[in-house]
């Protein structure tokens, strides 16, 4: 353990609420928020419609310069920027919860097949039932993701505890299997539908609109507090299951709830923008390295890191080869894999994390 960290103590009037928060983590959170804000601003000022920076600022302040610029800033860029941040946060949180539940530092929704399961469900919906409303997509995605999560749970029940790498490999096998089914479905389906599904599967935030932002926002607002609440209970299990059980903590229930929330977060995000890999893997580790903190604060930092990552990926994908747009999903893979390798190399031995 390093030198004792400085804490900031907050007590409410009646001492009902007392918080002891590490300063470094708070500073980190604030800085990350600032970076996110910066990226969002750059994102709002970037695009194929040439808008000068001062015009962007004016429009944001409410001064309408022209209807076209209003549209570009408020209707095209703003929802996309928000969606990127929200999706990033949700995928990061999903990864954190997944890593906590499975006690496996290499877990990520797309590496265990959860994202692929969600994707398969949505593709099935698009190809087999094309007339069904798009509002059903998040629910279908959730169903698909839950099925995969159950499969993973079932598979990882062996006599031995199971090593981290083994779990991930099984996940990779499962996700490959699911991907092949998805490919088969697209071969079989109507070509129009297949093409629509194909562009969505690249994992891009291109088409995000305000309705998507509302969907993401509402679900995030529901799931994040739930996760925070559950995580506080699950911190007891860090001392070992036996101690936790003796403390009256319902270990199994909490674990399953955490897993369900992790799956839900990944599924909702995937249903809106397609599968987005490696964010859930990288963000929790980065958060831990940036500043050690208690569970709640750690989750917030993780979410912030995820938001920054995906917002940046989306921005770079949009701007680097303009006017050709690279989907954010490809960029997170390109950044994510090398980081994943670094994590692998630096991880402790193959025993559980």
Which residues of the shown chain bind another protein in the complex (CB under 8 A)? 47-50, 68, 71-72, 75-77, 106, 134, 155, 158, 160, 163, 165-166, 168-170, 172-174, 176-177, 179-181, 183-184, 187-188, 190-192, 195-196, 199, 202, 206-207, 209, 211-212, 277, 321, 323-326, 330, 333-334, 337-338, 340-341, 344-345, 347-350
Task: Find the shortest distance in angstroms from Cβ 269 to another protein.
Answer: 17
Least Å from the CB of residue 249 to another protein:
29
Angle between helices 114-128 and 251-273 (to 10 degrees): 50
Q: What span, in angstroms and rounded, lies between the C-alpha atoms of 186 and 207? A: 21
Burial of residue 58 (number of CB atoms within 10 Å: 0-12, 13-18, 19+)? middle
Residue 204 phi/psi, 5-degree rounding, is -125, 155
Measured from the CB atom, is 134 or 296 closer to another protein?
134
- Report the nearest approach of another protein to the CB of residue 322 (Å): 10
Instruction: For the CB of residue 148, give the shortest distance to another protein in the complex, in Å.
Output: 12
Closer residue to another protein in complex, CB, 55/228? 55
Residue (5 or 155) nearer to another protein, CB: 155
Name the minimum Å distance from CB 266 to another protein. Answer: 17
Shorter beta-carbon distance to another protein: residue 35 or 343: 343
What separation in angstroms does the CA of 198 have from each of 179, 186, 210? 12, 8, 23
Cross-strand pairs, 254: none
DSSP H helices, the chain, are: 23-44, 53-60, 67-70, 78-102, 114-128, 137-155, 164-188, 191-201, 210-234, 241-246, 251-273, 279-290, 295-319, 328-346
Which CB atom, from 17 or from 324, has the smaller least distance to another protein? 324
């Amino acid at each position: 353990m390093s030198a004792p960290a400085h804490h900031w103590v907050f007590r409410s009037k009646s001492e009902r609420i007392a918080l002891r928060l590490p300063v470094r983590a708070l500073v980190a959170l604030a800085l990350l928020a600032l970076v996110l804000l910066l990226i969002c601003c750059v994102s709002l000022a970037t695009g194929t419609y040439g808008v000068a920076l001062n015009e962007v600022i004016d429009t944001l302040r409410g001064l309408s310069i022209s209807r076209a610029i209003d549209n570009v800033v408020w209707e095209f860029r703003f929802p996309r920027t928000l969606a990127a941040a929200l999706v990033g946060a949700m995928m990061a949180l999903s990864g954190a919860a997944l890593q906590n539940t499975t006690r496996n530092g290499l877990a990520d929704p797309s590496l265990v097949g959860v994202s692929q399961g969600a994707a398969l469900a949505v593709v099935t919906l698009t190809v087999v039932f094309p007339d069904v409303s798009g509002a059903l997509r998040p629910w279908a995605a959730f169903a698909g993701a839950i099925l995969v999560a159950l499969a993973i749970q079932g598979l990882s029940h062996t006599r031995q505890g199971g090593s981290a790498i083994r779990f991930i490999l099984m996940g990779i096998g499962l996700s490959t299997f699911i991907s092949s089914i998805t490919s088969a479905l697209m071969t079989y389906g109507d070509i129009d539908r297949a093409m629509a599904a194909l562009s969505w599967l690249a994992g891009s935030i291109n088409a995000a609109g305000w309705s998507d932002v509302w969907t993401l926002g509402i679900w995030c607002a529901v799931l994040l507090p739930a996760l925070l609440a559950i995580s506080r209970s699950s911190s007891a299990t860090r001392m070992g299951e036996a101690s936790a059980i003796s403390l009256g903590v319902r270990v199994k229930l909490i674990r399953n709830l955490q897993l369900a929330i992790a799956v839900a977060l990944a599924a909702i995000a995937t249903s809106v923008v397609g599968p987005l890999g490696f964010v859930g893997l990288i963000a929790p580790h980065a958060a831990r390295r940036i500043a050690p903190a208690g569970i709640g604060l750690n989750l917030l930092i993780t979410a912030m890191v995820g938001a920054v990552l995906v917002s940046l990926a989306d921005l770079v994908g949009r701007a680097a080869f303009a006017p050709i747009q690279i989907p954010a999903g490809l960029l997170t893979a390109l950044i994510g894999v090398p980081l994943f390798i670094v994590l692998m190399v630096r991880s402790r031995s193959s025993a559980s994390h």
